[in-house]
Structure 1
Amino acid sequence: TSIDSNEVKAGQELLYKITYKNTTGKVQKVVIKDRIPEHTTYVKDSADNKGIYKDGEITWTKEKVADGETVEVTFKVKVDDNVNGERILNKAKVADGSNTFDTNETTNPTSTKPLKDVFDSKDTNTSIDGNEVKAGQELLYKITYKNTTGKVQKVVIKDRIPEHTTYVKDSADNKGIYKDGEITWTKENVADGETVEVTFKVKVDENVSGEKILNKANVVDGNNNFNTNETTNPTATRPVKDVFNSQDDKTSIDGKGVRGKDELLYKITYKNTTGKEQKVVIKDMIPEHTRYVEGSADNGGIYKDGEITWTKEKVADGETVEVTFKVKVNANVNGEKILNKAKVADGSNTFDTNETTNLTPLRPKPAIPKTGYGANTALYTVLLGLSTGALGAMKIRYRRKKKK
Structure 2
Amino acid sequence: MIADGVETDKTVTLTKDNNWTGSFTDLDEYKDGKKIEYTVREENVGNGYTSVVTKTGENNFTVTNTREPEKTFVEGSKTWDDANNQDGKRPTEITVNLLKNGTKVATKKVTEKDGWKWRFENLDKYENGELINYTIVEEKVEGYTTEVEGHNVKNSYTPGKTSVQVTKAWKDNNDQDKKRPDSVTIELLADGKETGKKVVLTKENNWTGSFTDLDEYKDGKKIEYTVKEKAVGNGYKSVITGNAKEGFVVTNVRTPKPRIPKTGAGSNSALYTVLLGLSGTALFSVFRRKRKEEL
Report the TM-score, using the length of structure 1 for normalisation. Answer: 0.21
Report the TM-score, using the length of structure 2 for normalisation. Answer: 0.26
Structure with max Cα Rg = 2
By relative contact order (CA 8 Å, sep 6+), the higher-ranking structure is 2
